[in-house]
């Protein structure tokens, strides 16, 4: 008789540090939904869940590619028409020292590949606090400890330069800049970009510029790419179809590598080695890239009109609600209110789901300055849904804390 294996197969210990608060709350929501309650979701930044539709000319481009037999593997870096379109977009952003362009399965894969190609055991990477939890998850997977720098709530969530300076060590290899920011909706000023670029020059850092929301500036202010401000500094600019072009499920992202060629080339060789090892990104969906970047941009007018209205509604609610304050978001579709409560923000969001059936994400799931408590709102839903959700949150706060 064969022996029965009695011991559990344990996962790698480094996964203990992997958290993804945005989706981890879904387990609680599933329990509530099974009890027959409808959940009001303000937790997932997916425009297609709400009244935002992928532009038809992009869908037609993908459909045509599939009909034309573009269903096998593509080149590892991506198809030429898409790469050319991304280079054209980079030029429009003012990036003049482009050294390479590559297409990935969403920006999530861009981040994964770029960090894996750079960091050795013992190295560290500066990431914002609060931040999008993908970065901490990838670093945990790589066995790299967190080295976070604060965003300053008193300064419109701009990066805290003094804190960045304090956190740079001899083993710091790069800095992540999410601009526009998730979860706060802040947008970096040109002066701030210039100062971060100067720190990167002084300390030989790679800048990872997550600019996936660069066309979603709510007030129509111009977005400034840090690679434009710092053409000599090694910068990997992240972009994709998910947010600006309302196609998150297609999983199409890209990286634009810029800087001094001789400085960045060895690193790009490493990135391309990993790109080849994973074969390629989704092939037919890549044909949507030139359709998106070089085609009509009309959808952005309506998208920004909706976001502006829903942002204003959100800010009015924050202003009118006791124990809540919020820095007005300037880009993307997130607000990050601060709450004055006697318990953890994780308890706040958990009980909010159970009692009022509204989903937001706790600020501690993104990291936050000690002693502060926040929650993230996705203000993508229509005004009626938002009004209902905010009424429920307001009632919850009054009933629980006053």
- Which neighbouring-strand residues pair with 127? 148
Residues of the chain with pLDDT under 70: 1-6, 17, 19-24
Give the integer Cα–Cα distance in Å for 177 and 174: 10
CATH class name, domain 57-294: alpha beta
The per-residue pLDDT for 402 is 81
For 70-94, how does the pLDDT look when each residue is reduced to its tens digit (9 = 90+)? 999 999 999 999 999 999 999 999 9
Tens-place pLDDT, residues 190-227: 999 999 999 999 999 999 999 999 999 998 788 999 99
118 φ/ψ angles, rounded to the nearest 5 degrees: -105, -40
* Phi, psi dihedrals of residue 320, rounded to the nearest 5°: -85, -10
Instruction: Please tell me the predicted confidence (pLDDT) of residue 22.
Output: 62
**What pLDDT is stored for residue 240 in this prediction?**
98
pLDDT of residue 46: 93
β pairing state of 158-159 and 98-104: unpaired
pLDDT of residue 382: 95
Could you tell me if 332 and 179 are in contact, meaning their C-beta atoms sit under 8 angstroms apart? no
Q: Provide the pLDDT for residue 115.
A: 97
Q: What is the pLDDT of residue 136?
A: 92
Specify the pLDDT at position 194.
Answer: 97
Residues 361, 366, 370, 375, Cα dihedral to 10°: -20
Residue 13's pLDDT is what? 78
Query: Which CATH class name applies to 13-52+298-401?
Result: alpha beta
The CA R_g of the chain, rounded to the nearest whole Å, is: 22
Maximum separation of any 2 CA atoms in the chain, in Å: 73
- Can you give the residue ranges of every domain in the chain? 13-52+298-401, 57-294
Could you tell me the sign of the dihedral formed by the alpha carbons of 80, 86, 91, 92, in that order?
positive
pLDDT value at position 1?
57
pLDDT at position 23:
62
Phi-psi region of 78 (alpha: psi -120 to 50; beta: other; left: phi over 0): left
Q: How high is the pLDDT of residue 380?
A: 97
Among candidate residues 345, 336, 339, 324, the one with its CA nearest the CA of residue 378:
336
3-class secondary-structure state, position 89: helix
């Amino acid at each position: 008789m064969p022996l029965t294996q009695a011991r559990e197969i344990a996962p790698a210990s480094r996964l203990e540090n992997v958290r993804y608060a945005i989706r981890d709350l879904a387990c609680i929501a599933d329990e509530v939904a099974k009890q027959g309650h409808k959940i009001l979701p303000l937790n997932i930044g997916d425009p297609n869940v709400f009244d935002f539709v992928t532009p038809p000319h992009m869908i037609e481009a993908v459909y045509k590619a599939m009909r034309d037999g573009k269903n096998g593997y593509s080149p590892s870096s991506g198809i030429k028409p898409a790469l050319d379109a991304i280079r054209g977009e980079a030029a429009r952003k003012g990036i003049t020292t482009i050294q390479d362009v590559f297409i990935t399965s969403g920006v999530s894969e861009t981040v994964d590949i770029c960090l894996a190609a750079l960091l050795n055991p013992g190295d560290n990477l500066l990431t914002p606090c609060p931040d999008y939890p993908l970065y901490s998850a990838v670093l945990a997977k790589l066995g790299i400890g967190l080295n976070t720098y604060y965003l300053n709530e008193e300064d419109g969530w701009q990066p805290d330069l003094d804190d960045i300076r304090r956190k740079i060590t001899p083993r710091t290899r790069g800095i992540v800049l999410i601009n526009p920011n998730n979860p706060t909706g802040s947008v970096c000023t040109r002066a701030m970009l210039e100062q971060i670029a100067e720190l990167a020059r002084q300390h030989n850092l790679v800048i990872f510029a997550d600019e996936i929301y660069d066309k979603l500036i709510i007030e129509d202010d111009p977005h400034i790419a840090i690679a434009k401000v710092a053409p000599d500094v090694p910068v990997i600019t992240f972009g994709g179809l998910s947010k600006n072009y309302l196609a998150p499920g297609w999983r199409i992202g890209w990286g634009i590598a810029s800087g001094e060629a001789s400085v960045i080339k060895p690193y790009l060789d490493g990135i391309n080695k990993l790109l080849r090892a994973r074969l390629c990104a989704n092939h037919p969906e890549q044909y949507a890239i030139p359709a998106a970047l070089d085609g009509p941009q009309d959808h952005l007018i309506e998208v920004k009109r909706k976001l502006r209205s829903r942002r204003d509604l959100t800010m009015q609610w924050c202003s009118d609600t006791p124990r809540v304050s919020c820095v007005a978001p300037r880009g993307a579709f997130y607000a990050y209110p601060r709450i004055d409560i006697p318990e953890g923000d994780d308890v706040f969001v958990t009980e909010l789901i159970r009692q009022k059936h509204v989903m937001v994400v706790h600020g501690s799931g993104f990291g936050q300055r000690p002693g502060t408590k926040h929650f993230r709102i996705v203000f993508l839903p229509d005004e009626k849904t938002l009004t209902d959700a905010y009424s429920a949150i307001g009632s919850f706060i009054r009933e629980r804390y006053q």
